[in-house]
Amino acid sequence: MAMNYFSTRDSALRRTASQAILQGIAPDGGLFVPQEIPSVDLTELIGLDYCALAAKILGLYLTDYSEEFLAAATKKAYGGGRFGDLPAKVVRLEDGLFSMELWHGPTCAFKDYALQLMPLLLTEAKRINGDDSKTAILVATSGDTGKAALEGYRDLDGIEIAVFYPDHGTSEMQRLQMATQEGSNVHVFAVRGNFDDAQTGVKKVFTDAAFAAACAAQNKHLTSANSINWGRLVPQIVYYFAGYFQLVRSGAIKLGDSVQFCVPTGNFGDILAGYYAKRMGLPVSRLLCASNKNRVLADFGASGSYDANRPFYKTASPSMDILVSSNLERLLCHESESCAETAGFMQSLASDKKYTIPAALLERIHKTFGFGYTDEDACFDEIRATWEKDHYLADPHTAVALALARKERGNAAPCVVLSTASPYKFSGAVLAALGGSKQGSDFADLRALESCTGIPAPGVLRALQDKPVRFNEIIAPDEIRSVAERL
């Protein structure tokens, strides 16, 4: 049966899967959600390898893509050992507590699971819809998304990608990951100012009507690579199933037993994929939403009020430093009475940076979700304690979730923490948490962390030091537009 998508703000606004992926955001500002959530038979899925499992699950949602295409695309994205010997590998820390390592892909961050596949989905969406325009992708990044997007979109026909990061606003490692990027269609710029300046510069280009008209005249189409696109969300559903099946195979649980997942959360995309997995029939008793010091979601879970009027903190887990978690809109849409209600919340968020949901809706959300946060000191304590007790090295994002899982998981069901980045992407912070002193450069920190733990860093990070830098141009925020013009 064909699956269609509607806008979170208007159920009459319908699109096919490939149209939803091409458009990214609905014309009314809403996000595309599936009209119904398919259910699965676990016994039919448990025997599949990761690529076949991904093709099967994606096929239920992306009904206007062919089976052959999905089988080939998932092999290309996840096959050949590109995500380690076993994608989404689950590691036992202690009785009932597990870490699902999502960072063995090409850029050492979990965003690779989405961004290795999404570009293939976009190219195929253009083909299905007879769209022969050139796609120009603009990405403002504080680090991880930019690199994962560059690696995913490099050398694809009909696509140019430009990434903008704040000059001096990323780690040395993150900067070099981007500055040494290979590919014939990639462009990387440092922008004077902070992340907000880069993001505002990019948003200005997206909302410039004259610019859009000029693009249309050249048969060019601007789009972004951020996590509100359905094509970025849907691949993430797969690893919840893959992780669960590993627990069954290892004998930690029996098929049908419940598990909990604890997810380090920023834009609410990763944890929302877990919600879809549960609704499809995966036995998930609870999804724990872990925030860092920017605890807007934890406060929302406690009070039902989402309030973005608050100070913004820069933390050791920068990919979770977010005040507006866009994908929460999708959850509200699925759990609330109507799209009109969701549209109302979002209107109030736009005008007052705040909204409050009714008590009954909050109660429904609490049936599935728990919320909590880990401040900076507790995050560093967790990195040290996990190393000392379990001999396990966690990056700061993972540690935010681990600390919450230890506090909240109880004994009712095993808990799987989603581990979202290699600890070596944040060597300085991890080294400091273990009591080492920072060495003055990211590479020296990496080597010091290797020698103090005996755990080798991923080869791609170690090799960065010797790769030629291709991009070192620094521009002003208002030059982003002229870059976009030239793509």
Catalytic positions are 111
Residue 99 touching ligand PLP (CB under 6 A): no
DSSP β-ladder status, 10-16 and 32-34: unpaired
Q: Which of 89, 111, 187, 406 binds ligand PLP (CB under 6 A)?
A: 111
Q: How far is the CB of 267 from ligand PLP (least distance, A)?
A: 3
Q: Total binding residues for ligand PLP by CB under 6 A?
A: 17
Tell me the window of 23-31, 51-59, 151-159, 265-273 that interacts with ligand PLP (CB under 6 A).
265-273
φ, ψ for residue 456 (rounded to 5)?
Answer: -70, 145
Query: Any contact of residue 226 with ligand PLP (CB under 6 A)?
Result: no
Write down the residue that tokens 């834009």 correspond to.
Answer: 267
Which residue in 268, 345, 380, 387 binds ligand PLP (CB under 6 A)? 268
Distance of alpha carbon 151 from alpha carbon 116, whole angstroms: 7
Total Cβ atoms within 10 A of residue 8: 26
Choose the binding region for ligand PLP from 193-201, 262-270, 279-287, 440-448 (rule: CB under 6 A): 262-270
| Residue 81: partners with Cβ closer than 8 Å, 6 or more residues away | none
Residue of 18, 135, 199, 267 interacting with ligand PLP (CB under 6 A)? 267
Q: Which is nearer to ligand PLP, 142 or 246 (CB)?
A: 142
Q: Does 264 bind ligand PLP (CB under 6 A)?
A: yes
Q: Are 278 and 432 in contact (CB under 8 A)?
A: no
For residue 111, the one-letter residue type is: K
Position among 227, 291, 342, 453 found at the interface with ligand PLP (CB under 6 A)? 227
Considering only the stretches 211-219, 258-266, 406-414, 432-440, report the one whose residues sit in contact with ligand PLP under the rule CB under 6 A: 258-266
Is residue 317 packed enough to be buried (19+ CB in 10 Å), middle (13-18) or exposed (0-12)? buried
Between 304 and 396, CB nearer to ligand PLP: 396
| Residue of the chain from 259, 290, 298, 320 that contacts ligand PLP (CB under 6 A) | 320
Q: Long-range contacts for 83-91 (Cβ within 8 Å, ≥24 apart)?
A: 83/50, 83/112, 83/113, 86/50, 86/246, 87/50, 87/113, 87/239, 87/242, 88/50, 88/113, 88/238, 88/239, 88/242, 88/243, 88/246, 89/246, 90/243, 90/246, 90/247, 90/250, 90/416, 91/392
| 109 forms part of the interface with ligand PLP (CB under 6 A) | yes
Q: Which residues, numbered 139-168, are part of the site for ligand PLP (CB under 6 A)?
A: 144
Question: With respect to ligand PLP, which residue has the nearer C-beta, 136 or 273?
Answer: 273
Q: How far is the CB of 106 from ligand PLP (least distance, A)?
A: 14
CA angle at residue 421 from 419 to 423, to 5 degrees?
A: 100
Residue 151 CB, nearest approach to ligand PLP (Å): 14
Nearer to ligand PLP, 176 or 215 (CB): 176
Using CB under 6 A as the binding rule, whether residue 371 contacts ligand PLP is answered as no
Which one of residues 223, 420, 422, 427 is an interface residue with ligand PLP (CB under 6 A)?
420
Of 183, 125, 138, residue with least CA distance to 5: 125
State the Cα angle at 146 between 30 and 201, rounded to 5°. Answer: 65
Q: Which is nearer to ligand PLP, 107 or 185 (CB)?
A: 107
Of 308, 231, 230, 227, the C-alpha closest to 265 is 227
Which residue number, 105 or 269, has a Cβ lying nearer to ligand PLP?
269
- The span of 23-31, 166-174, 268-276, 349-357 binding ligand PLP (CB under 6 A) equals 268-276
Angle at which helices 50-61 and 67-78 cross, to 10°: 140
What end-to-end distance do the CA atoms of the chain give, in Å? 39
C-alpha closest to that of 24 among 250, 233, 299: 233
Judged by CB under 6 A, the stretch of 16-24, 106-114, 298-306, 438-446 that binds ligand PLP is 106-114
Residues 386-405 that bind ligand PLP (CB under 6 A): 397
Interface residue with ligand PLP among 16, 135, 319, 453 (CB under 6 A) is 319
By C-beta, is 77 or 271 nearer to ligand PLP?
Answer: 271
- Give the C-alpha separation, 483 to 487, whole Å: 7
CB of 214 to ligand PLP, least distance (A): 32
Quick one: 320 or 457, whose CB is closer to ligand PLP?
Answer: 320
Candidates 96, 231, 266, 274: give the one binding ligand PLP (CB under 6 A).
Answer: 266
Output the CA–CA distances (angstroms, integers) from residue 416 to 94, 95, 158, in the order listed: 11, 11, 40
Q: What track of x and - describes contact with ligand PLP for positions 163 through 202 (by CB under 6 A)?
A: ----------------------------------------
The residues of the shown chain that bind ligand PLP, judged by CB under 6 A, are 109-111, 144, 227, 264-270, 319-320, 397, 420-421
